[in-house]
Amino acid sequence: DSGVTQTPKHLITATGQRVTLRCSPRSGDLSVYWYQQSLDQGLQFLIQYYNGEERAKGNILERFSAQQFPDLHSELNLSSLELGDSALYFCASSIYRGGDTEAFFGQGTRLTVV
Amino acid sequence: GENVEQHPSTLSVQEGDSAVIKCTYSDSASNYFPWYKQELGKRPQLIIDIRSNVGEKKDQRIAVTLNKTAKHFSLHITETQPEDSAVYFCAASRMEYGNKLVFGAGTILRVKS
């Protein structure tokens, strides 16, 4: 167990719908990252938050948005879903303190758009 | 933007042989280089990492080397075992303020017994 919790584990929804994926980072970790992994694909960086503020943005679609709340949990919102959005969405968290910067991944949310 | 290239995309080795995976990064300010292993259907997990102030790091059968001048780093697995079969991802980052990890595309390693 990495200490990073993602809910739900599985999500099946129809095209055009909107979903919210939730991530609770490890206790004390200030950074939260979201990655998308499509079938047979690598880990595509979507967005990073650090202590509540957006820190970096990757190739995140305009239909997607995210936020990090004061308690440091994060949510990734996906709207106007398309078949191609079906993927495994990972959240990771890390803390930078004295050189410790390992990122720990959650188990992922498998999104299936039908 | 930052980019990490990883080769090969697939690698098949015989049990007991060595496996080498290579990565090249573009951001010269990167100073942290972790390697993650992802088994089928599971989350990526850190197996070894190296910081820019060292050239090599070893942990039992795995080792990582870093060439900052050439901006490339490699993962070496010796005496491979079937349980080493997985997808391996390299990544690069600047450690300051927990900067994002930029991942390579991944290498599917198959160890044949």
pLDDT in tens, chain B (113 residues): 578 999 999 999 999 999 999 999 999 989 999 999 999 889 999 999 998 888 999 999 999 999 999 999 999 999 999 999 999 999 998 877 557 788 999 999 999 99
C-alpha span between A31 and A49 (Å, rounded): 6
Residue B23 near residue B74, CB atoms below 8 Å: yes
Stronger pLDDT, B62 or A95, i.e. the higher one: B62
- Which token pair is A63? 């239909």
- A31 vs B contacts (CB less than 8 Å): 98
Flag whether pLDDT at A97 surpasses 60: no
Flag whether pLDDT at A79 surpasses 80: yes
- A108 vs B contacts (CB less than 8 Å): 43
Rounded average pLDDT over A21-38: 93
Flag whether pLDDT at A56 surpasses 80: yes
B100/A107 CB distance under 8 A:
no
Nearest CA of chain A to the CA of B26: how many Å?
A: 16
Count chain A–chain B contacts defined by CB atoms under 8 A: 62
Rounded average pLDDT over A63-88: 96
Nearest CA of chain A to the CA of B84: how many Å?
A: 18
**Residue A100: pLDDT band by 50, 70, 90 thresholds?**
low
- Which token pair is B91? 């990544």
B interface test, pick of A37, A43, A57 with most B CB neighbours within 10 Å: A43
